[in-house]
Amino acid sequence: MGLLHYNINMEFVNGNYYSYYYYCFYFNYYKKVMKLQEAKEIVVSLGRAGKMPCPTYNTPAKLCKTGSKLRKVKGSTCHGCYAMKGNYLFPSVQQGLQKRFDAFKHERFVEAMSFMVNRYATTHFRWFDSGDLDSISMLEKIAMVCQNTPHIQHWLPTREAKIVKDYLQIYKEFPSNLLVRVSSPMIDGEPLKSFDYTSTVHHEEKAKGHDCPSRFQDNKCLDCRACWSKEIKNVSYHKH
């Protein structure tokens, strides 16, 4: 049977103390102790956005910290948020999103989510096609899931620049199979200079960096994997 490794440390960052820990379930360990139904009871399920070539994990957009503020700002990338209308507003969908958000607080979230990604993803995975990071603890747990699924390439788009900065101040880097893209807040804005990987939205100006081709191919990724690629510093999406 595999072993569960973990250690706990404390670090002072931006006026706050953070307790943090790394642990890794060897695959043969958590496959033996967790069943599919147990994992689903914790994380509910993975999503399948129509555009995406892979499973996703989403939470309520209404709980976005930065996004909730930007939605009120005309010209921001969150104004008219797609995850705040349409099918996303159905009560059953909102209940599922909330359960996924709450799942991060479960003591076995990392184990359950690692199980689900291992079972349903083949090469790629996306975090937050709805919602965003809520805390450094949430980002820590996502990093642990990535460590437990090294054969999967993970992409995490976020507007929570401070959470990413605080994480990097503690850990210095992300797992090699996790690419975090920090998004610029305003349409036609410049890529944020403080981060290695970013994304922007263009409308009246030309794309900066890689121009997402989805608008030319039925709003789908198809064979494009630029968002996951470390060779692409900035991905620019055309305003819907």
pLDDT score recorded for residue 33 = 62
Q: 13: helix, coil or strand?
A: strand
Q: What is the pLDDT of residues 99-149, one digit of tens each?
A: 999 999 999 999 999 999 999 999 999 999 999 999 999 999 999 999 999
Distance CA(154)–CA(132), nearest Å, equals: 15
Determine the pLDDT at residue 17. Answer: 38
In this structure, is residue 206 part of a structural domain? no
| 134 DSSP 8-state letter | -
239 falls within a domain: no
Tokens in use for 26?
């060897």
pLDDT at 15: 47
Identify the band that residue 240 occupies on the pLDDT scale cut at 50, 70 and 90: confident
Q: Is residue 9 pLDDT above 60, yes or no?
A: no
User: What's the pLDDT score for residue 49?
Assistant: 80
Q: Quick check: is 231 in a domain?
A: no
Strand partners, 4: 25
Residue 181's pLDDT is what?
Answer: 98
- 205 belongs to a structural domain: no
Distance separating alpha carbons of residues 109 and 131, to the nearest angstrom: 18
Q: Which domain does 30 fall in, by range?
A: 4-188
**Is 228 a member of any domain?**
no
Look up the pTM and report it: 0.86
Split into its structural domains, the chain has a count of 1
Give the closest residue to 140 by CA, choosing from 168, 115, 116, 98: 168
Nearest Cα to Cα of residue 40 among 92, 108, 116, 122: 116
pLDDT of residue 22: 44
* 75 belongs to a structural domain: yes
DSSP 27-63: HHHHHHH--HHHHHHHH---B--TT-SS-EE---GGG
